[in-house]
Structure 1
């Protein structure tokens, strides 16, 4: 496979190999004990646990079960989250590092146990996990991470030996971790929620949530009153709580395809410096490598197609990838202190809850969030509540928050100056090209398809008004400020935006 090899249209392995059942649109009930917004791993875990307690549950999703972030991941189930434990021990103390490890490990084991109990064939297999470095100068850091993780009670050790074709000089090894098929898992949970009497409402967008006097969720199909509302939309769709000032949106690319059996590594791997990620998936007929990397800020001015090709070439060289059969991108949100936000949506919230900020570790992070929210909503004391408290004050994170604010300001101001300086006639846009520019009195985002059809929409993100940028791989308009994503027709693909981009008049093929 060379750098000019064919890249297929973006498609997730997990979604392609686990099609969702054709659900009839259920009638939304007027009332429910719990409304969960978001049918990904955090939302469905929360919903299943509460439905199991006999609570009436409604799950809403703009698309389908596990068709969003949870269906676009490398699907590692591991308590090893890069070089996390050294950082946590230094910034929050050994108790916090231990608590974090315990919750992530418990999430892994809960998935394994529940998959067996519910007979969900999610292809869960145990694998050792490694974070490695190829830089001799980072050897001491790897040693310190192994020691910190061991002190946190994790099955961690230092090693120099990994079976990945890279010049690794040191690695942290976690034994007994796992990998699985995330969509098979979540479709199984969704079916169990329905069996327990819950409602799964796909293609139903949550538009707003009223907290007082009784929580109500306003949707594209009506309003549901609830005792509790859980917002598990990856990026919170409600601006209360100011999450848009405390989350960093990043996209990681993934390529996937067959590899020779003799080059397929046995574990799961992550480069501490480059974030190249490797695991394999056995289809029963062949071994596929799932390789991630080339992360960038959502909506940044980057050539995504070129990054995909670079990643494919790295996979060819180091894993033996013979062709790119699937490719997709993972959407990650990170917090300034690298600990997710799970709990009360804002300091005064009584019945509104949130789960977000899992970084690159949403499979255990989202599951741990569901386990914690289950306890909090049931009024059960959980010792991890303070660690994950969404409204925590952390003076040490102030520089990171300020940096994120400066980045947003750069895009908000710089992109407007760039676009205002350019005036375009729509007829000058060539097939396959896209631009954001001033067209008459308006700022327009325009894309002309290869067949000549022109799509023109308002260029201001409907969340906070930043200008969107074109993703030349997925053919989407992405916002660099807070990570909202829109189709070329302006439809919302990913929040926090809940309203589409305004359609503008477009000329016909030309």
Structure 2
């Protein structure tokens, strides 16, 4: 951005800033329920609501607030168009998989529309067209193939040569009749509906352990609860079972938003740069929400500079007048780019999981919740085979090797870099951070804007990888499995459940 441009605001999601809910941190935990759902995001609350409709007693637990995690930090596109998904599905898993996936995602969008109307939830659900475009003529063959595969899967897809956005698009795949909405309003409405059906939602109730036998018991920082079944819907599974930490690839996408003059309808994604654009109405003012600049969580990158680049792109191409909000979105991809939804591990009978939505959690999380409700009720669901967490093939094996090579590189390389770093933390200026070894310890140090030096262990409490500093959000992020911590060591995002200790 220009030197004279206004500084970027403190990170804050427009969804969290524009929808307030009741404080549920005082919710008393029952001694026993039919189902405990861990995670009050879109997958968890959809699961809980569907189960409550089945007359199951339900408790939803969240370490933070309803919709305050990944679901409240998204661009909130609600669509069956997931980049270039259908050509890949047809090639690697067959036409049946593409048809099933498209059906499930479309059904999820329809369910949100139908349920929001039935419950009277004003979540600004709006039907709109969705576009995946390219500015590269060499990519047109790929997009034509994607349009053909999606149409063959029964989706409202077609190849078009123009998009209603100020970018030099060479062509695009257009899906008609997709949607956008306000995710936090939707989730607050679902939480109330769960409570109206006799369920309970508890905020600031971090889960620290789950025992599976002889009966499931969920241990939280506020007490324990017995359950018939337990659903883990915490985005990154918080239990070190099922080998999920080795089967998920974590990335972060940055988002900027602000008022716009004019603009267009539709939601947009650049197939190559992954710039994402959608418009939104807030208090009578039109806004544009722009995502992009994704990177692996915890990589040694200048996150602040990436925000600046994203803002510059948005100012040039979307009509953005100024940045009033910015935030980051956390995403996990599975080995074959299809979510894991089902039994947590091969030997579990009452432990369930939903994870790995790969940047498409609004429809994917909804579809997962509806599937889990069927599985827990022993109802037939034709899509269960596609999302089975235990599936594995050659392509998954290649991805597994690549992901774990990256983890090993960080586990070794980041420790070596810390050994070579300057451990004289007294020289840190305000707002500066450093990771270095001091004796046998690896220390993460940060001096805040008041001059106070914060020293924590730099070893992630999940599996011991060395954290890196995020200079935009002032957090310590783990590059191995995407745990995130505050400068005071507090857990912001799992799979870690314990804070970084003082050093």
Q: How far, CA to CA, are the matches of 1:106 and 1:352 in structure 2?
A: 25
Q: How does 1:240-279 map to 2 (within 5 A)?
A: 240-261=241-262, 264-279=263-278
Asked if the contact 1:436/1:446 (under 8 Å) is kept, the reply is yes
Which digits, 9 at most, give the CA deviation of each residue in 1:245-267, with x for residues without a partner?
Answer: 11000000000001111xx1211
Partner of 2:173, secondary structure, is: strand
- Give, in angstroms, the shift of residue 24 of structure 1: 5.5
| Residue of structure 1 in register with 2:396 after alignment | 397
Offset of 1:426 from its aligned partner? 2.4
- The root-mean-square deviation of aligned C-alpha atoms, in Å, is 0.9
CA distance in 2, matches of 1:414, 1:384: 41
Residue 94 of structure 2 corresponds to residue 93 of structure 1:
yes
Matched, 1:156 2:161: no
Q: Give 1:79-228 correspondences, 5 Å limit.
A: 79-228=80-229
For structure 1, which segment, 392-401 or 448-457, has the greater mean C-alpha deviation from structure 2 after superposition?
392-401
SS at match of 1:122: coil
CA contact under 8 A between 2:25 and 2:205: conserved in structure 1? no
Match of 1:465 in 2: 464
**Equivalent residue, structure 2, for 1:508:** none
Matching residue of 1:451: 450
Show the counterpart of 1:386.
Answer: 385
Shift of 1:20: 2.0
Residue 409 of structure 2 corresponds to 410
Matches within 5 A, 1:59-70: 59-70=60-71
SS at match of 1:111: helix
Question: Structure 2 CA distance, aligned partners of 1:74 and 1:336?
Answer: 24
2:17 paired with 1:16: yes
Q: Secondary structure at the match of 2:364?
A: helix
2:2 — aligned with what?
2
Per-residue CA deviation, residues 208-245 of structure 1 (Å, 9 max, x unaligned), is 11101100101101110000000000000011100011
Between 14-23 and 421-430, report the one with greater CA deviation. Answer: 421-430
Deviation of 1:5 after TM superposition, in Å, equals 3.1
| Residue deviations 1:275-299 (CA, integer Å, cap 9, x gap) | 0000000124221000000000000
Separation in 2, partners of 1:186, 1:131:
27
Distance in 2, Cα, partners of 1:242 & 1:119: 41
Matches within 5 A, 1:303-314: 303-314=302-313
Distance 2:127 2:52 in 1: 29
**CA shift for structure 1 position 8:** 0.2
Cα 1:248–1:61 change in 2 (3 A) is: same
Cα distance in 2 for residues equivalent to 1:311 and 1:498: 32
Pair 1:475-2:469 in alignment: no
Give me the whole-angstrom Cα distance separating, in 1, the residues matched to 2:319 and 2:182. 22
Aligned residue for 1:14, secondary structure, equals helix
**1:83 CA displacement:** 0.3
After TM superposition, give the deviation of residue 161 of structure 1 in Å: 1.6
Q: Is the 8 A contact 1:423 1:439 kept in 2?
A: no
Q: Does the CA contact (< 8 Å) of 2:25 and 2:204 recur in 1?
A: no
2:416 aligned with 1:420, yes or no? no
Is contact 2:51-2:58 (8 Å) kept?
yes
- Asked if 2 retains the 8 angstrom alpha-carbon contact of 1:35 and 1:228, the reply is yes
- The CA distance in 2 between the partners of 1:158 and 1:22, in whole Å, is 47
Secondary structure of 1:369's counterpart equals helix
SS class of match (1:9): coil
2:290 maps to 291
Instruction: Find the counterpart in structure 2 of residue 507 from structure 1.
Output: none
In 2, Cα distance between the equivalents of 1:21 and 1:223? 23
- Between the aligned partners of 2:199 and 2:359, the Cα distance in structure 1 is 29
| Counterpart Cα distance in 2 of 1:49 and 1:116 | 16
Partner of 1:496: 495
Q: TM-score, normalised by structure 2?
A: 0.99
Quick one: distance in 1 between partners of 2:151 and 2:324?
A: 38
Q: How does 1:28-43 map to 2 (within 5 A)?
A: 28-43=29-44
Q: Secondary structure of the residue that 2:250 maps to in structure 1? A: strand
In 1, Cα distance between equivalents of 2:451 and 2:406 = 35
Take 1:426 and 1:161, find their aligned partners in 2: how far apart are those partners?
A: 54
CA contact (8 A) 1:432 1:447 kept: yes
User: Aligned partners of 2:85, 2:28: CA distance in 1, in Å?
Assistant: 44
Please give the alpha-carbon distance, in whole angstroms, between the structure 2 residues aligned to 1:398 and 1:23. Answer: 43
**What is the Cα deviation at residue 338 of structure 1?**
0.5
Rounded Cα–Cα distance in structure 2 between residues aligned with 1:276 and 1:451: 36
Query: CA contact under 8 A between 2:78 and 2:362: conserved in structure 1?
Result: yes
| Counterpart residue number, 2:368 | 369
Does the 8 A contact of 2:23 with 2:203 survive in 1? no
Q: Which runs of 5+ in 2 are unaligned?
A: none
- Offset at 1:440? 3.2
Q: Distance in 1 between matches of 2:422 and 2:143?
A: 52
Shift of the alpha carbon at 1:23? 2.8
Q: Shift of residue 460 of structure 1?
A: 0.2
Query: Deviation digits for residues 40-71 of structure 1, max 9, x if unmatched?
Result: 00000000010111111000000000000000
Partner SS, residue 87 of structure 1: helix
> CA 1:92–1:433 in structure 2 vs 1: closer, same or farther (change >3 Å)?
same
